[in-house]
Amino acid sequence: MTTRLAIGLVLASTVIGCEPTYLAPSQTPVDSGTSMPPDFSESARSANVPGEVLYALARAETNFQMVIGEAEFDGQEPAFGLMGLRGEQLQLAADLSGIDVETVKTDRAANIAAAAELLGFYGEEFGLTADSDLGEWAPVVARFANLTDDEATAEYIHHEVYGALRDGIETEGYSLAPMDDIVVAWPEPLIDQQRGRDSGAIWSPSPNYSSRSGYSVNYVIIHTCEGSYSGCWSWLANSASGVSAHYVVNDSGSEVRALVDESNKAWHISANYDCSLNSNKDCSRNGQPMNNQSVGIEHAGYGSQSSWSNGLIQRSAELTCGITQRNGVIRDSYHIVGHGQLQP
């Protein structure tokens, strides 16, 4: 599925990424409505949790798409459904809701209901109910995110979940009006304003890199995080993960993290080049390690999702263009490729 995204980025980087042209915003302005789909409001009511928080979590996790997750990294459990439930949380949510795990994975209403029960379970630990201030649910959001990095947790809470509530949410003909008066009960993230090789990226260095051993950069590899932006970059920057990428783009294209300098090798694709997987191009490079000769870009989201925001495509195209210009990489579908194409 990452191949589809890679092709889109090739087209975008060729047409707009290296030209002063921009795509229209991917979302229309949210009106003053206050409604949400009934499966959210009903599940929230049943679990005694605020529907707004449940709704915002779905926006942060999957952008309201029913996903069938794949493990992008070793040690990462695949996520399922509109709420992106995974691993032990998936099982706990199923147990709390009384719905079998397979149904929670694949049925929209069951997935939302199970996630609501999970939030309610966490909320009880903090003495919270649906009537509590929305900002007081921040510790529950942190439990749901289950991230190990404090900065990533703060960013997920403030930017991805409560940020969605501040901006307003619109989907499926329903709209939740912007809420700019929420006091979030969690420390704000302390963004490091150092910049990576891409001038617009936030530098969050990963220890997981090594020398290119004399190889030049010949490819840009497109990945999907199989999860949220904050969860993705924080795991890639964690020494325990043993994996990394050069860049991570959030789902709207409004933020990019740079984790490894382009002059170094990130650990993002464990494969050697095989030209039979790439239309028999560059066969002289057969057997050469892909990590040594590529720059890797992760994108918040899932390979199984059906669409990507214009903002993500535009920002990643601009990023890809800069990488190709700095490293002399050919901008075509044989040199800007999806992870799944070269490592099926």
Indicate the domain borders of the chain: 2-23+192-342, 38-176
> Is residue 192 scored above 70 in pLDDT?
no
d(CA 252, CA 314) in angstroms, rounded, equals 9
**H/E run at residue 68:** strand 67-68
pLDDT level of residue 24 (50, 70, 90 thresholds): very low
Average pLDDT over residues 26-42: 68
Whose tokens are 């325990």? That residue is 240
Give the pLDDT band (50/70/90) at residue 343. confident
Residue range 93-108: average pLDDT?
97
Superfamily of domain 2-23+192-342, CATH level 4: Peptidoglycan recognition protein-like (3.40.80.10)
Q: Which of 125, 69, 119, 80 shows the shortest CA–CA distance to 97?
A: 119
> So what's the pLDDT on residue 341?
87
Per-residue model confidence (pLDDT) at position 191:
66
What pLDDT does residue 7 have? 58
Quick check: 30 pLDDT over 50?
no
Q: Which of 61-75, 102-116, 249-263 has the lowest mean pLDDT?
A: 61-75
Lowest-pLDDT range, 26-30, 162-166, 250-254, 269-273?
26-30
Assess whether pLDDT exceeds 70 at residue 32: no
The pLDDT value recorded for residue 129 is 98
Residue 22: predicted pLDDT: 42
CA distance 55 to 67: 16
Other CB atoms within 10 A of residue 181 CB = 8
Residue among 81, 118, 103, 148 nearest 305 (CA) = 81
- CA-wise closest residue to 63 among 301, 278, 332: 301
3-state percent breakdown (helix, strand, coil) of the chain, nearest 5: 40, 15, 45
pLDDT digits (tens, 9 = 90+) for 176-188: 999 989 999 999 9
Q: Taking the chain, what is the end-to-end CA distance rounded to the nearest angstrom?
A: 10
Q: Is the pTM of this model over 0.85?
A: no
Domain 38-176 CATH class label: mainly alpha
